[in-house]
Structure 1
């Protein structure tokens, strides 16, 4: 009898998660094989040119560098603060003796047991904590770039443009991962109202992310230019 109540939760919620994870596995493969067809690949390629250009003329562009890195830190700080505040709120709800599930029992599908309700909140709590961890690491890496970018350059210096580019890329990767983890919590907020809405939200989110992540026109032009260059050689 208990299975009949929770079979929608057991099927639809993991299926939505698999759809979301599968899209990002495909996106990672796309970035690795055809980076110029994705916004992530194009931005990463641009940052590899940005760091050496800023270090080459740091005396004139130091304000631009500081402002750019400050904006990145502010964005990650906002997401980290939001994640930890939501985690604290969910922890308070989980530990509360008030039963928040009673008004919703007759309005949603899926299981309504105390164990299932606790599982929903604990899952959200875990996701927000992981998002907070990723954004805090992003802040750490970007702050390192802000300090090291003004290091005097000489032959014995260990701080090279390649080294700073690698640190900056780590910061952006952690920021992207933290954002995508945070996005996955949005459909799970609807799990309070039933597993059907969770699956539908994941289903709607994937096409939206696809349109934001793919830049097919720019990628095709870049690939055509590379092909012409190889032919001319």
Structure 2
């Protein structure tokens, strides 16, 4: 395989994946340092309050908890099913000799060799497969929380709330990882049409995710919540209330 035929694949595709990876590393650091500035941290804090509220008044809200987790499991199951179906389809394409594995035409940039075409489908298969695994483990944790949250609190003690919150956070973190793997796989799906589209779609995906992942709210004085939280962290006040346990 000549370098002049695949140099765009070697440069643009890894560069797009690295941009996405660096963004998520930076996002995770913000979630840990300033959770209220991100949607992930804000939702995690809200879920902890919700679990505490459900368990303190379990007799009246046990049906609400079951229905909420049922809807969450249904969503994760749908995405897991979609991922495994795509894995099956890609596996069938890889093992076949059908002409779909051939390049569409010579106008497509990037490598057209058999190795490069196989690499595209194998990479897609791995992304969808890991996405399915994360969804499956997430469903397992949610099922555990579904049982534990309805247990009598008198027999579990106050520590059970923190334990259930940790299980729920693991479930949603895995769900988030699975979603991001699925989104990245969709950008890699454009690799069939050339590496240029993969790079452009990765940049667009990071831009869209940035606008969805970060939230800027204002308090009564008009100051940004992010800035207020940062000042409280420097002064040592209020930081421990919002740090997530993962």
Please tell me whether residue 5 in structure 1 is matched to residue 9 in structure 2.
no
CA 218–173 in structure 1, closer or farther in 2 if over 3 Å, else same: farther
Higher helix share: 1
Shift in Å, 1:152? 1.5
Residue matched to 1:224 = 228
Please tell me whether residue 191 in structure 1 is matched to residue 173 in structure 2.
no
Instruction: After superposition, give the CA deviation of every residue in 1:41-88 in whole Å (9 maximum; x if it has no partner).
Output: 101111111111100111100111011111110111011000000000
Distance in 1 (alpha carbons) for counterparts of 2:32 and 2:5: 43
> SS state of the match for residue 217, structure 2?
helix
Shift in Å, 1:188? 0.6
Distance in 2 (alpha carbons) for counterparts of 1:189 and 1:6: 17
> SS state of the match for residue 99, structure 2?
coil
User: So what's the TM-score if we normalise by structure 2?
Assistant: 0.88
**2:145/2:167 contact within 8 Å kept:** yes
Distance in 2 (alpha carbons) for counterparts of 1:152 and 1:83: 37
Distance in 2 (alpha carbons) for counterparts of 1:74 and 1:13: 33
Please tell me whether residue 174 in structure 1 is matched to residue 174 in structure 2.
yes
Residue matched to 2:244 = none
CA 156–14 in structure 1, closer or farther in 2 if over 3 Å, else same: closer
Distance in 2 (alpha carbons) for counterparts of 1:162 and 1:150: 14
Shift in Å, 1:101? 4.0
Shift in Å, 1:155? 5.2
User: So what's the TM-score if we normalise by structure 1?
Assistant: 0.93
Distance in 1 (alpha carbons) for counterparts of 2:124 and 2:226: 41
Residue matched to 2:91 = 91
> SS state of the match for residue 215, structure 1?
coil
Q: CA RMSD in A?
A: 2.3
Residue matched to 1:115 = 115
Shift in Å, 1:159? 6.8
**1:145/1:164 contact within 8 Å kept:** yes
> SS state of the match for residue 160, structure 1?
helix
For residues 1-233 of structure 1, the aligned pairs below 5 Å read: 2-102=2-102, 104-154=104-154, 160-217=160-217, 220-221=224-225, 223-224=227-228
Distance in 2 (alpha carbons) for counterparts of 1:137 and 1:96: 31
Distance in 1 (alpha carbons) for counterparts of 2:79 and 2:24: 20
**1:107/1:193 contact within 8 Å kept:** no
Instruction: After superposition, give the CA deviation of every residue in 1:75-109 in whole Å (9 maximum; x if it has no partner).
Output: 11011000000000000000001132445131300
Instruction: After superposition, give the CA deviation of every residue in 1:180-232 in whole Å (9 maximum; x if it has no partner).
Output: 0000001111000000000000011111000000002259236537858x799
Query: Could you list the runs of 5+ residues in structure 1 that have no partner in the other structure?
Result: none
Shift in Å, 1:154? 2.1
Distance in 1 (alpha carbons) for counterparts of 2:123 and 2:203: 19
Runs of 4+ in 1 over 3 A off after TM superposition: 155-159, 225-228
